[in-house]
Copies of this chain bind each other. A is one copy, B any other.
Amino acid sequence: MGLELWDGQSLYPGPGQPAGSLVVHDARTLRGLVLNPHLQFGETYTAGTLDVRGGLEPVVEAISRLSLLPSRRERITARLTAANDLGRARRNVQHHYDLGNDFYASWLDDQLVYTCAYFERPEMSLEDAQRAKLDLVCRKLRLQPGEVVVEAGCGWGALALHMARAYGVRVKAFNVSREQIAYARARATREGLADHVEFIDDDYRNVRGEYDAFVSVGMLEHVGVRQYESFSGILRRVLRRANGRGLLHFIGRDVPRPLNAWIRRRIFPGGYPPTLAEVATKILAPAQMSIVDVENLRLHYARTLRHWSQRFAEIEQQVRSRYGESFRRAWELYLAGSEAAFATGTLQLFQVVFTPSETAPPYWTRADMYGQARPDQWFAATP
Contacts and interface: CB of A to CB of B under 8 A. Distances in A.
A148 B281 CA distance: 35
A43 to B, nearest CB: 27
Contacts of A366: 295, 366, 370
Interface of A: 65, 68-69, 118-120, 122, 254-255, 275-277, 280-281, 284-285, 288-296, 298-299, 344-345, 348, 350, 357-361, 364-367, 369-371
A364 B288 contact: no
* Copies of this polypeptide in the complex: 2
A277 B286 CA distance: 13
A291 B122 CA distance: 21
A327 to B, nearest CB: 33
Question: What 3 pairs across the A-B complex have the smallest Cβ distances?
Answer: A294-B294, A277-B277, A277-B280
A340 to B, nearest CB: 13
Given A358-B65, A366-B366, A293 B290 contact: no
A79 to B, nearest CB: 15
A178 B296 CA distance: 39
A192 to B, nearest CB: 32
Interface core residue of A122, A345, A350, A371 (most chain B CB under 10 Å): A345
Contacts of A365: 118-120, 370
A254 B357 contact: yes
Nearest to A69: B288
B296 A345 contact: no
Given A345-B357, A358-B68, A370-B370, A285 B255 contact: yes
15 contacts: A68-B288, A68-B358, A69-B288, A119-B365, A254-B284, A254-B288, A277-B280, A290-B298, A290-B345, A296-B361, A299-B364, A345-B357, A345-B358, A365-B370, A366-B370
Given A68-B357, A255-B285, A290 B295 contact: no
Contacts of A294: 291, 293-294
B358 A299 contact: no
A245 to B, nearest CB: 13
A361 B299 CA distance: 8
A49 to B, nearest CB: 31
Contacts of A344: 358
A289 B360 CA distance: 29
A341 B365 CA distance: 20
Contacts of A289: 254
A122 B363 CA distance: 12
A294 B118 CA distance: 18
A295 to B, nearest CB: 6
A336 B257 CA distance: 44
A356 to B, nearest CB: 9
A360 B296 CA distance: 10
A293 B366 CA distance: 12
B296 A291 contact: yes
Contacts of A284: 254
Nearest to A279: B277
Given A119-B365, A254-B285, A367-B370, 9 more contacts: A68-B288, A254-B289, A254-B357, A275-B280, A280-B280, A290-B298, A292-B296, A295-B366, A369-B370
A292 B284 CA distance: 19
